[in-house]
């Protein structure tokens, strides 16, 4: 029997402060009508961009948690992984996907490792190769431009034109996923916009979506984007509509927060934006990349 509430295994860290990972994934997918089963990869006092963070790595606990889920014969409509507590966890997540994936299960891997040209503070360099291998197991991957560059062994570009973007997406699809999505894309013709690009290897089409830049940065927006994208694809939206809906959601959260004075980069008002997930999509703002 199908799950009456579609169920998603969410393999991410739990950070006590600083919106990211499970504190984003759970409310977003829950608001969209999914049951989220968290498999925490690490517990942190605060995310790794906040100085003095404490990280408790759960690598040694994961096999026991996963065995218990096997004993319970849990079935998932989606498997969505993100920040891992150690490079060794990538192989565990890969085995998890092999064990729990069914023909209709959507697998999304967000290879969370880096941003703004740099690996996150807790990331060992071998995570790059491990995340690239893990990406081969997914239908959808959602690296930002820094993660895409690391996975492809290319320098982080200042900007890319349309032809280069297509080349990057095809190179990511060559790692194995059917639908690579690149976020924070510095597209030459749209440097005034926050842009994502995607490729669907199954129909050979390339897509662009985005929203005008707001002159600020908030942590956790990548996790918001990938969470909404996962929910949209699970609820049956097409890839371009899912790209656009996710961009719309992140833009709403950013604009809601930006209007207040005195809120820090770690304080995006996610809860204020959640109700917008219940409304029908705005007229779709995606483009085909010719």
Contacts to ligand PXL by CB under 6 A: 13, 15, 20-21, 44, 47-49, 83, 112, 120, 220, 222-223
**Continuous segment of H or E residues that includes residue 146:** helix 145-152
What 3-state class would DSSP assign to 177?
coil
What is d(CA 226, CA 112) in angstroms, rounded to the nearest whole number?
Answer: 11
Which residue, 222 or 240, is less far from ligand PXL as judged by CB? 222
Nearer to ligand PXL, 176 or 220 (CB): 220
Cβ 21 to ligand PXL shortest distance, Å = 4
Provide the token pair at 64. 């026991």
As given in the structure block, the two tokens for residue 47 are 């995310």
- CB closer to ligand PXL out of 143 and 177: 143
Closest separation in Å from C-beta 251 to ligand PXL = 17
Other Cβ atoms less than 10 A from the Cβ of 258: the count is 15
Nearest distance from residue 83's CB to ligand PXL, in Å? 4
In the complex, minimum distance from the CB of residue 67 to ligand PXL, in angstroms, rounded to a whole number: 25
**Shortest spacing between CB 184 and ligand PXL, in angstroms:** 12
Q: Which is nearer to ligand PXL, 47 or 211 (CB)?
A: 47
Q: Which is nearer to ligand PXL, 110 or 237 (CB)?
A: 110
Torsion of CA 35, 39, 42, 45, to 10 degrees: 30
| Closer to ligand PXL by Cβ: residue 55 or 187 | 55
Q: Which whole-number Å values give the CA distances from 60 to 41, 49, 64, 92, 231, in the listed order? A: 10, 24, 8, 10, 30
Q: Which residues contact 8 (CB under 8 A, 6 or more apart)?
A: 29, 34, 35, 36, 37, 76, 77, 78, 79, 80, 230, 234
Query: CB-wise, 78 or 222, nearer to ligand PXL?
Result: 222
Shortest Cβ 276–ligand PXL spacing (Å): 20
Separation of CA 31 from chain center: 17
C-alpha torsion sign, points 276, 23, 97, 108: positive
Angle formed at CA 163 by CA 162 and CA 165, multiple of 5 degrees: 65
Q: Shortest gap between Cβ of 47 and ligand PXL (angstroms)?
A: 3
CB distance 155 to 117 below 8 Å: no
What's the min distance (Å) between Cβ of 178 and ligand PXL? 24
Class of residue 265 by CB neighbours under 10 A (exposed 0-12, middle 13-18, buried 19+): middle
**What one-character DSSP code corresponds to residue 277?**
G
Q: Between residues 21 and 200, which has the closer beta carbon with respect to ligand PXL?
A: 21
């Amino acid at each position: 029997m199908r799950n009456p509430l579609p169920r998603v295994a969410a393999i991410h860290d739990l950070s006590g402060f600083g919106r990211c990972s499970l504190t984003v994934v759970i409310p977003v997918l829950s608001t969209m009508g999914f049951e989220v089963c968290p498999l925490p990869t690490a517990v942190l006092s605060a995310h790794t961009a906040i100085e003095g963070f404490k990280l408790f790595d759960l690598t040694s606990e994961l096999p026991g948690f996963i065995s218990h889920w096997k004993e319970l014969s849990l079935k998932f409509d989606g498997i969505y992984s993100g920040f891992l507590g150690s490079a060794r966890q990538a192989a565990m997540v890969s085995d998890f996907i092999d064990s729990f994936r069914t023909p209709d299960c959507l697998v999304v891997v967000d290879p969370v490792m880096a941003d703004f040209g740099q690996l996150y503070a807790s990331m060992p360099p071998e995570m790059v190769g491990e995340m690239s291998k893990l990406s081969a197991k997914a239908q959808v991957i959602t690296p930002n431009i820094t993660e895409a560059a690391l996975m492809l062994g290319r320098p982080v570009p200042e900007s890319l034109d349309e032809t280069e973007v297509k080349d990057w997406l095809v190179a990511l699809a060559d790692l194995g996923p059917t639908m690579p999505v690149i976020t924070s894309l510095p597209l030459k013709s749209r440097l005034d916009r926050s842009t994502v690009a995607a490729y669907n290897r199954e129909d050979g089409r390339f897509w662009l979506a985005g929203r005008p830049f707001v002159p600020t940065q908030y942590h956790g927006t990548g996790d918001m984007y990938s969470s909404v994208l996962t929910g949209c694809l699970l609820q049956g939206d097409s890839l371009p509509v899912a790209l656009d809906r996710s961009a719309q959601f992140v833009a709403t959260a950013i604009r809601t927060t930006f209007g207040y004075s005195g809120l820090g980069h770690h304080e995006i008002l996610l809860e204020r934006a959640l109700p917008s997930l219940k409304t029908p999509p705005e007229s779709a703002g995606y483009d085909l990349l010719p």
